Amino acid sequence: MAPLGRLLIVIGILLIVLGLILTYSNFFTLLKLGRLPGDISYRRGSFSFYFSLTTCVVLSIILMLIICLFKK
């Protein structure tokens, strides 16, 4: 069980580092993710609703292609 625990700690640290990089960098503003045509945005008064439908589809396709490349 010790190797599994170490692996989970390393993955956790990598996720924290990746989260910090994405939070404090302009990575997503350069790619315009979250503001693609087809993303749903609704504002009324102090209420706002945002659902990035197109961004979810694009990221899903990209991840699927990456997984298919690594499987072969």
Structure pTM? 0.53
- Supply 57's token pair: 């589809």
Residues in the chain: 72
Q: pLDDT tens per residue, the chain (72 residues)?
A: 788 888 899 999 999 988 888 777 776 666 666 677 888 888 899 998 888 888 888 889 988 998 998 887
- pLDDT, position 30: 65
At 33 the pLDDT is 65
With a CB cutoff of 8 Å and minimum separation 6, the contacts of 55 are: 33, 34, 36, 39
